């Protein structure tokens, strides 16, 4: 019986796993995971994301044992060493075919193409499968054959091509006959209080999706913008690690929306459009590789005169933003949520990204990297897409002259200040009007607050002093500054 090697990557699940499903139909299966901690670090992964991925690898290993599928672990410092390491393992195990699900970032694509070349030259077949998306990047194009650079027409085309089979997740494979091959020791990871918010494994991921589908899906359009409500699915970490697939999300939306999951006038339809945004950004990774290389989607915006990060005032402003001590309550509450939980509400991501890139005129790449370091759902395509949208440097970006006002956004989406009171407890005593823009007489020296937190930048919750910092900028002056910066490159 032929023996196949299934290479797990950002697809740490048994169900709806095309490579695993196909392999188990063809014969004996051995699984492999390539552990690349140095490369992950170079790609901006923080400790929390790394721990989350490895905790889900441990959960997957238990599931594979029940199927009698041995799991081998290869540790390589860089992706460039993966082809040789995988090929040596394949030869050692007598592998007849390698199967894996595609990834779309530039480095990952280069690695995978090198793996295919090495295996082909060695006479070992390779099969690749579409994953993380419903349609392979590049398969949905404009009438002229170009990649879409605006979401709405992409979304319409995507909907027009959706067929019933795209809504049927593949089942988990059946157990195979026991093998004499041993499992390799798994990479260790450091647990943390943040990680406890995100239990590992398919069962936990499916429960989170099921709970949302039953309780929040049909109200998603009405509740998704309010951070004090449990109005979002919070499955992004599981999608990023591949513990859930987008097809499983679509299937849940169809089942719990009376079939109206493609109608954007419904909560389910709005939520599905968010899944399509994730796919849109992955299509862009293939169509415009510069996105994976720290470049702006709009080349002209590379000339923007960002404030120098070497300047001491800019450093203090950045530090205030990072620690949640800007003097703007909704901004600070959002940043403290990130530091405390490893996750941030989506509307707040847009708000804090725009505050950094426009009000503070600090290069969006600085914020993008900070998010990747601290987000449990850190994902190049979605994170980059969101930051470039907010900074007006990306595809389908918000116009450069549109700048969110933190005070009005706060009053609109946290009207009773519940979210702010939770994460900025020193403001809890203020009334529902004052909490969005605290009276000036509450302020104290902002630098003292930041200095106090610098020694333990990302430890316990920030801001437990009874005082609260003054706003670090004047909103009108900051708006004028960024407008002038954009006008200068027109």
| Distance in angstroms (rounded) separating the CA atoms of residues 430 and 310 | 37
Alpha-carbon span 371 to 194, nearest angstrom? 15
- State how far the alpha carbon of 456 is from the alpha carbons of 63, 339, 452, in Å: 39, 12, 8
What CATH number corresponds to the domain at position 20? 3.40.50.620
Identify the pLDDT of residue 466.
55
Same domain flag for 465 and 379: yes
184 falls within a domain: no
**Residue 216: which CATH number?**
1.25.40.80
What are the start-end ranges of the E strands in 90-139?
A: 97-101, 125-129
Domain end (from 287, 315, 336): 287
Burial of 37 from C-beta contacts in 10 A (0-12 / 13-18 / 19+): middle
Please tell me the distance from the alpha carbon of residue 31 to that of residue 61, in angstroms, as a whole number.
9
In the prediction, which pLDDT does 461 show? 42
323 plus 454 within the same structural domain: yes
pLDDT of residue 460: 40
CA-CA-CA-CA torsion sign (454, 455, 461, 467): negative
pLDDT tens sequence across 440-482: 876 444 434 444 454 445 444 443 445 899 999 999 999 999 9
Contact at 8 Å (CB) between 225 and 232?
no
Evaluate whether 386 touches 195 at the Cβ level (below 8 Å): no
Question: By C-alpha distance, which of 384, 386, 415, 389 is closest to 402?
Answer: 389
Q: Do residues 216 and 322 share a domain? A: no
CA separation for the pair 245, 202 (Å, rounded): 11
Give catalytic residue positions.
274, 277, 306, 346, 364, 387
Do 384 and 311 share a structural domain? yes
Are the C-beta atoms of residues 124 and 31 closer than 8 Å to each other?
no
Q: Note whether 252 and 401 are same-domain residues.
A: no
Of 100, 130, 160, the residue at which a domain comes to its end is 130
pLDDT in tens, the chain (490 residues): 799 999 999 999 999 999 999 999 999 999 999 999 999 999 999 999 999 999 999 999 999 999 999 999 999 999 999 999 999 999 999 999 999 999 999 999 999 999 999 999 999 999 999 999 999 999 999 999 999 999 999 999 999 999 999 999 999 999 999 999 999 999 999 999 999 999 999 999 999 999 999 999 999 999 999 999 999 999 999 999 999 999 999 999 999 999 999 999 999 999 999 999 999 999 999 999 999 999 999 999 999 999 999 999 999 999 999 999 999 999 999 999 999 999 999 999 999 999 999 999 999 999 999 999 999 999 999 999 999 999 999 998 889 999 999 999 999 999 999 999 999 999 999 999 999 999 987 644 443 444 445 444 544 444 344 589 999 999 999 999 999 999 999 8
Q: Do 265 and 305 reside in the same domain of the chain?
A: no
182 located within any domain: no
3-state SS class at 436? helix
Q: Which residue, among 361, 337, 340, has the nearest Cα to 418 in the 3D structure?
A: 337
Termini Cα distance of the chain: 64
Q: Do 358 and 391 lie in a common domain?
A: yes
345 HSE (CA, 13 A, CB side)? 25
d(CA 231, CA 345): 10
Whether the Cβ atoms of residue 331 and residue 355 lie closer than 8 Å to each other: yes
Domain for residue 222, yes or no? yes
At 74 the three-state DSSP class reads: strand
Angle between the 346-354 and 364-374 helix axes, to the nearest 10 degrees?
A: 140
In a domain, 49, yes or no: yes
399 assigned to some structural domain: yes
Residue 263 shares a structural domain with residue 315? no
pLDDT for the residue 279? 98
Burial class of residue 446 in the structure, from the number of CB atoms within 10 Å of its CB (0-12 exposed, 13-18 middle, 19+ buried): buried
Give the single-character DSSP code of 433: T
What is the H or E stretch that residue 62 is in?
helix 47-66
Tokens matching residue 368: 């993008």
Burial zone of 165 (CB within 10 Å; 0-12 exposed, 13-18 middle, 19+ buried): exposed
Does a structural domain hold residue 191? no
**Token digits of residue 305:** 């005169």
CA–CA gap between residue 167 and residue 302 (Å, rounded): 41
**Cβ atoms of residues 376 and 49 within 8 Å:** yes
Domain that holds residue 10: 3-130
Residue 193 belongs to some domain of the structure: no
Distance CA 90, CA 88 (A): 5
136 to each of 154, 221, 245, 248, 284, how far by Cα in Å? 13, 28, 14, 17, 11
| CA-derived radius of gyration, the chain | 24
Q: Are 385 and 480 contained in the same domain?
A: yes
Helices 329-341 and 364-374 cross at an angle (nearest 10°) of 40
Cβ neighbour number for residue 153 with a 10 Å cutoff: 14
Same domain? For 321 and 283 the reply is: no
Answer yes or no: is 178 within a domain. Answer: no
Do 354 and 338 belong to one domain? yes
Counted domains in the chain:
3
Taking the CB of residue 75, how many other CB atoms lie within 10 A of it? 14
* CA–CA separation, 27 and 176 (whole Å): 9
Phi–psi pair at 445, nearest 5 degrees: -55, 120
Query: Domain ends where: 83, 103, 130?
Result: 130
Distance (Å) of CA 416 to CA 407, 436, 442, 463: 13, 9, 19, 20
Q: Which two tokens stand for residue 179?
A: 């093998």
pTM (2 decimals)? 0.93
Q: Where residue 331 sits, what CATH number does that domain have? A: 1.10.579.10
Q: Are residues 344 and 264 in the same domain?
A: no
């Amino acid at each position: 019986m032929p023996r196949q090697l299934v290479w797990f990557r950002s697809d740490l699940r048994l169900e709806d796993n095309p490579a695993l499903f196909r392999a188990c139909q063809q014969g004996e299966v051995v699984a492999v995971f390539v552990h690349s901690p140095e490369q992950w670090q170079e790609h901006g992964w923080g400790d929390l994301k790394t721990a989350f991925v490895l905790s889900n690898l441990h959960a997957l290993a238990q599931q594979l044992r029940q199927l009698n599928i041995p799991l081998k672990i290869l540790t390589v410092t860089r992706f460039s060493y993966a082809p040789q390491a995988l090929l040596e393992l394949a030869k050692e195990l007598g592998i007849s075919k390698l199967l894996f699900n595609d990834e779309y970032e530039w480095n990952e694509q280069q690695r995978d193409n090198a793996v295919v070349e090495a295996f082909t030259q060695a006479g070992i077949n390779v099969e690749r499968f579409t994953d993380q998306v419903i349609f392979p990047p590049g398969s949905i194009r404009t009438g002229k054959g170009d990649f879409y650079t605006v979401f709405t027409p992409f979304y319409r085309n995507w909907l027009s091509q959706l067929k019933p089979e795209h809504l049927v997740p593949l089942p988990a494979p059946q157990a195979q006959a026991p093998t004499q091959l041993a499992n390799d020791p798994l990479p260790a990871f450091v647990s943390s209080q943040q990680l406890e918010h995100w239990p590992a494994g398919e069962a936990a991921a499916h429960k989170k999706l099921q709970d949302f589908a039953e309780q929040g899906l049909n109200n998603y359009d009405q509740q998704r913008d309010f951070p004090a409500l449990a109005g979002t699915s919070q499955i992004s970490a599981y999608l990023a690690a591949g513990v859930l697939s987008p097809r499983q999300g679509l299937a849940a939306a169809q089942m719990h929306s009376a079939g109206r999951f493609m109608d954007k006038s419904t909560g389910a339809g709005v939520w599905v459009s968010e899944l399509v945004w994730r796919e849109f950004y992955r299509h862009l990774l293939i169509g415009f590789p510069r996105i994976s290389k720290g470049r702006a989607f709009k080349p002209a915006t590379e000339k923007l005169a960002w404030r120098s990060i070497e300047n001491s005032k800019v450093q203090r402003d950045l530090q205030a933003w990072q620690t949640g001590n800007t003097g703007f309550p909704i901004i600070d509450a959002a940043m403290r949520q990130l530091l405390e939980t490893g996750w941030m509400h989506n509307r707040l991501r847009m708000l804090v990204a725009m505050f950094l890139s426009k009000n503070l005129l600090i290069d969006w790449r600085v914020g993008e990297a900070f998010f990747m370091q601290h987000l449990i759902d850190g994902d190049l395509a979605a994170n980059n897409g969101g930051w470039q949208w907010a900074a007006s440097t990306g595809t389908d970006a918000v116009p450069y002259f549109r700048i969110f006002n933190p005070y009005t956004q706060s009053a609109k989406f946290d009207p009773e200040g519940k979210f702010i009171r939770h994460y900025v407890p020193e403001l809890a005593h203020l009334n529902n009007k004052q909490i969005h823009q605290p009276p000036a007489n509450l302020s104290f020296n902002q630098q003292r607050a930041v200095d106090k937190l610098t020694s333990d930048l990302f430890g316990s919750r920030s801001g437990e002093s009874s005082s609260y910092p003054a706003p670090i900028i004047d909103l009108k002056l900051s708006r004028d500054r960024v407008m002038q910066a954009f006008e200068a490159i027109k």
